[in-house]
Every structure is written in structure tokens, then in C-alpha cells.
Structure 1
Amino acid sequence: MSQLKKINNKVLIFSFVAVFTLPVILAKFALEYDWFNQAATNSGELLNPALDMSSLSDQAHPPKWKFLYILPTQCDVNCTNALYSLTQVWSALGKEQGRAESVVIVLPDSDTMALNTLAQNVHLRVIDTDQQSVNQVFKDVRTNGIFIADTLNNIILRYPTQSDPQQAVLHSRDILSDMRKVLKLSRIG
């Protein structure tokens, strides 16, 4: 009887150790070998590392979250949809509008007709700069998109432009959703 009790005790101890160590071992393998999709709550493309746009911003304006768009040489359908998205997303922020702004970066060769349209919109701030400054900030990142920059002038998210107006509206919702999340979590700006 004593021999059977020793065996039962050993099985019990082994089972007890296995119950606590097996989940830890499985979790380690799951993380190392990507057995599951890691959750991401942002809809845009996360820029890692963030891009520093301090050289493009002027210090006279108070720090705010920014929706950025670089006005291309020819303002096509993608450009028109992006400019529309900038104004609509900013308007949809409601009471949080004071914490964010829409900024269009204009280069010397940017579309002048679109620039004239921008001048009529009081909710868009225009930053004039040159191509070299833009290349210095964006380095290897494609500039054909809408970007979100934080109050410290770090560009953190990128959203592709859309040629279809329906898709542009859906992507505007994604931008709005991400912006509401960062404004909710941020204490600055």
C-alpha cells in the first residue's frame, strides 16, 4: 500500500508541475513562432520609426495633432479625395477639433489650381516648403498618402489615398477612428 501511495504522490506532483509549466512553455512557443495574429487597433500603416517633421513645422503655432497631406504636382482624383477627407475628418472630430488640425504641405511645383481651392478653406493650414526638406523628413517613405503626426511633430501613421470616392469615405472613417483613439489616450495637444 505504501508503494502505491508513493507512486500516486509522484504522479500528483508531476501533474501539478505540468499544469503550471505547460502553459508557460506553450505561450513562449506561440510568441516565438507567431502561432496567432497579434492584435492591432490602428487602421493605418504604423511608421516605425516615426518620422520627425520638426523642420517642416513652424514654432508659432501651438502644438496640435495633425492630419498631413503633401500636395502633388497634379491634383488628380486621389488628391481631391484626400483633401476632402482632411476637411471631413477634422469636422467629424466635433468637440475635439481644437486639439487637431489639417495641414497641407505645398511644394514649389504643386498644383496651383488645387492651391487656389485650398486658400478658400479656412480649416486647412498650408505649409510652404521645398522638395529637399520633404525628402529629408520622409526619407524612404512614400509621400502619396494622408499622415497623422503627433504634437511633438512625429509622423506616426500613414493612410493610402483612394481613387474611388466610396473607398475614400471608408478610409476617412478609419482615419477618424484612429484619431479618436489617440486623442482619447493623449493628454497633450
Structure 2
Amino acid sequence: MMLIFVAVFLLPVILAKLALENGWFNKAATNKGILIQPPIDMSLIKTEKHDPKWKLVYVLPETCDLSCENALYSIGQVWSALGKESDRAEVVVISHEKSSPLQLQKLKEKQKFRLLNTDLNNIQRIFNTTDTAGIFIADTLDNVILRYPLQSNAEQAVLHSRDILSDMRKVLKLSKIG
């Protein structure tokens, strides 16, 4: 009777230890974007004082091709899809001296996009080991934590924006700031 009693308590512990050591299960990563370790500090390009908000960040390239258009459309749609939580998030487009002037003019007309202008050296210093071709999620302290690759296919971009929306909803649900 005593052996059965000990086995009931020890067997689950032993099985759990074996499962951890041998990698028998998925380690419960629920984010759909690529986690950036360590986070990228983009406070160098913070220009004016704003309320702390979660950010959907995009670095505007020199020429805005189809993947650029899809990215701008996606982040605008994700922000709109946040609904009542959209006041806790913002869309930030980072531009530099070589960014597409035609696209910059279009973005200035849109109310939901906040433009941050900086020079190309600052962008290269901030994103030194990370490719800037992507959509990023940054926290309220301007730390870039997640990256999503760009999509040149419009259908893929729409499907991909669901992943971004899912991760944004998770961080907004878990965060009390912003």
C-alpha cells in the first residue's frame, strides 16, 4: 500500500522530468511573430513626448514596392481591427532621407499613421543585426520585441495580418500599460 502511495506522487514528477530533458512536447510558444532577443531599443528616434502605447512599427524603404504597400495596408487594418483597444496602440512609420517621397506624401494624409523621421545612420545603428524589412511590434518603452516578414502576395499579407492582430491582442490583454 505504501509503494502505491509513493508511486502516485513520484511517477508524475519523474515523467515530467524525462519529458523536459528529452523534449517530448512543444514548449508553449504562443506568439506568431519572430521573437527578437534581446529586444531592440528604438528610443534614439523618439522625437516628441507621447502617451505610452504599444506600436506597430514599419521602416519605410527607398522604393515602396508591393510588399511595402501590403505592409502599410496590413498595419492599418490591424490597428483598425483592435477596435476599442486601438487607443492603446498606434501605427508608427519610420522614414529617412532616402524613403519614398511619394509614399511619404500619401502617409501624411492618413490620420492613423504617426511618422517619425530620422536619418539612415540612426536606423542602421538601432537595427544593426536585424533586417528592417518587416513589420515590428514595440512595447510602451520603445523596445522592439516581435518581427513579422513582409508578404508580396496580397492574400498572404491578409492572412499574415491575422497573426499580427493575434499577437497585438495578446500583448494588450496582458499589459496594464498603454
TM range (shorter): over 0.9
Q: Matched residue of 2:131: which SS?
A: coil
1:116, distance to aligned residue in structure 2 (A): 1.6
Relative to structure 2, which stretch is displaced further, 16-25 or 116-125? 16-25
Match of residue 5 from structure 1: none
SS of alignment partner, residue 47 of structure 1? strand
Report the AA paired with residue 73 of structure 1: E
Per mean C-alpha deviation after superposition, the further-off stretch among 99-108 and 53-62 is: 53-62
Percent identity over the alignment is: 59
Aligned pair partner of 1:93 in 76, 82, 86: 82
Partner of 2:121: 132
| Equivalent residue pairs, number | 178
Q: Deviations over 1:16-69 (max 9, x none)?
A: 323322221221121122111112221111112211111112242221110000
Q: CA deviation at 1:14?
A: 3.1
More displaced, 76-85 or 137-146?
A: 137-146
The whole-number CA distance in structure 2 between the counterparts of 1:46 and 1:59 is 27
Q: CA deviation at 1:185?
A: 1.4
Counterparts in 2 of 1:127-166, with a 5 A limit? 127-166=116-155
1:155 to partner: Cα distance: 0.7
| Separation in 1, partners of 2:82, 2:10 | 48
SS at match of 2:44: coil
Q: Distance in 2 between matches of 1:140 and 1:118?
A: 27
CA distance in 1, matches of 2:9, 2:71: 53
Equivalent of 2:40 in 37, 48, 51: 51
Q: How does 1:1-150 map to 2 (within 5 A)?
A: 12-150=1-139
TM-score w.r.t. structure 2 length? 0.94
Q: Secondary structure at the match of 2:166?
A: helix
Report the aligned-residue RMSD.
1.3
SS of 1:74 mapped into structure 2: coil
Aligned AA (1:127): L
Residue type of the alignment partner of 1:101: E
Query: Which AA in structure 2 matches 1:138?
Result: F
Residue 169 of structure 2 aligns to a residue in which SS? Answer: helix
Any stretches of 5+ residues in structure 2 without a counterpart? none
Instruction: Give the secondary structure class of the aligned counterpart of 1:55.
Output: helix
Extract unaligned runs of 5+ from structure 1.
1-11
- Report SS of the residue matched to 1:187: coil
TM-score of the two chains, using structure 1 as the length reference:
0.89
